Amino acid sequence: MRRKLMPLAASGLVAAILLSGCAAGGSGKASGGGGGKGKVTLTFLTFETPNLTAKYWDDAIARASAKVPGVTIKKLVAPSVDRVGYAKQLAASGQLPDIMIGVSPNGFAQAGQLASWSDGQLSDFVSPHSNPIGGKIYQLPYDTQPTPLVYYNKSDFTAAGIAAPPKTYQDLLDDCAKLKTKGINPLVVGGGGKDTWADMYPLIGAVATDTYRPEPDWLAQKAKGKAKFTDPAFTKAAQKVSDLAKKGYIDRAGLSRSYADDEQAFRANKGAMYPMGSWFAASADAKKPPFDVGVFAWPSDDGSLVMPSYTGGGMSVSSKAPDVALAQKWALAFMLDKTSLDASVKTDGSIIALKDYTPPAGMGPVYTATLDLYQQAVKQHAIVDAFSVESGDDSLPAGVADKAAAGVADLINGKKTAQEFGAFLDSEWAKADE
């Protein structure tokens, strides 16, 4: 899921643990002060998806708690995919959870609500200084997610006479035309209900190739007032999305579909290509569609490999937790647990960003192809940020990513031109900075 940014699945229950899904943060009492040695009750905000079930979380919580005696966890489950919004609601009422996973630290860290991680605590991570805020790290960078890749129906490609996935952007347009001629919808794109973020993936891909590849620090330049969304560097990418919709290559009716319905539409052969985060690989392997699935990176104009990715998604700890040291110790125990990491790979397609980590044997073909493609991008130094998914100092102001998703719907529906979309984002950024 979107900036999910966090994953994992289920194994056997290792230890019994008291779980409660009703209370919110900061209510526990520690007998050990701040030293991490006492008994404490900590609230933990997580989320559930078809991949990451309640059992997955309960089992993972139990394993971490078995390694950190003295901790009792009260599990909180976000009611929607908008975990940041829910965490803000809790914080506004003085109930920020003691531990959170997959919640962007932006806003919380600047307000002094989160405890930072030390270099020693981050020593096991491949990219220990991902997404700094004021030079400090507030979220464990445990998982890398290419966002998006393009998963495709090999049978549809064969039926349209397409011998190989597109390498250049013109190849993509040519393939879309061939598919359309055969009566096959080229691109499956959703964004209905609360899942407006699901319409962002074509834009994220285009921004990666047309904006971030030539100017990797473009968003930082925007923050300094040296760039605008109405500049050609950005509107070229937005125009590509608009043109895809105008040509009928993106089915506008699909914007009413939720994230889950969007995936089901691809599975039900309602479109040949599915721009989505790398987590879809696990779903495709776990429940194979009635066709073989391939994967490629959103193509650049010249065919160079470019891959938008995000590394982060791990745990953050409240600076007001009843025992910050013990909360951080528990969070690390959870994040570094091999069983949980393997489960995350198997159920959510995670690319674990920990030193010396090896995925479990026997992973399926879609995950294997996804991982191989990512590793190619790493070797070619082709990784760029994923627009709207960034966190840390060089990211969109709080709330602007959601506004961008609403704007993309207008871009696809023809209600906004690329230039108007850029002006809309500039305006929303200005409002967020007020």
Is it the case that residue 345 has pLDDT exceeding 60?
yes
- CATH code of domain 40-142+313-361: 3.40.190.10
Least trusted range by pLDDT, from 36-45, 189-198, 261-270, 338-347: 36-45
SS (H, E, C) 235-251: HHHHHHHHHHHHCCCEC
Relative to beta strand 149-153, strand 273-276 is antiparallel
- CATH code of domain 149-276+396-433: 3.40.190.10
Describe the strand order of the beta sheet including 273-276 as a list of residue ranges: 273-276, 149-153, 293-296
Mean of pLDDT values over 231-243: 98
| CB of 34 closer than 8 Å to CB of 41 | no
Is it the case that residue 14 has pLDDT exceeding 70?
no
What is the overall mean pLDDT for the chain?
A: 90
Mean of pLDDT values over 12-17: 27
The share of the chain scoring above pLDDT 70, in percent, equals 91
3-state class of 229 per DSSP?
A: coil
pLDDT in tens, 16-42: 222 333 334 444 444 333 444 558 999
Is it the case that residue 413 has pLDDT exceeding 90?
yes
pLDDT of 38 reads 57
pLDDT of 37 reads 52
Mean of pLDDT values over 130-144: 95
pLDDT of 264 reads 97
Instruction: Name the burial class of residue 321, with classes exposed (0-12), middle (13-18) and buried (19+) by CB atoms within 10 angstroms of its CB.
Output: buried
Q: What is the DSSP secondary-structure string of 54-123?
A: HHHHHHHHHHHHHHSTTEEEEEEE-SSS-HHHHHHHHHHTT---SEEES---TTTTTTT-EEPBPTTTTT
Instruction: List residues bridging with 274 in a β-sheet.
Output: 151
**Confidence band of 144 (pLDDT split at 50, 70, 90):** very high
Is-same-fold flag (40-142+313-361; 149-276+396-433)? yes
Residues 6+ apart with CB under 8 A from 391: 3, 104, 105, 106, 131, 139, 310, 312
Q: Alpha-carbon distance 283 to 366, whole Å?
A: 9
The sign of the dihedral angle between the CA atoms of 211, 215, 218, 224 is negative
Least trusted range by pLDDT, from 1-5, 51-55, 139-143: 1-5
pLDDT in tens, 292-319: 999 999 999 999 999 999 999 999 999 9
309 phi/psi in degrees, rounded to 5: -145, 160
Helical ranges in 247-399 per DSSP H: 259-267, 280-286, 324-335, 338-348, 365-379
| Extents of the domains making up the chain | 40-142+313-361, 149-276+396-433
pLDDT of 21 reads 33
Mean of pLDDT values over 53-69: 95
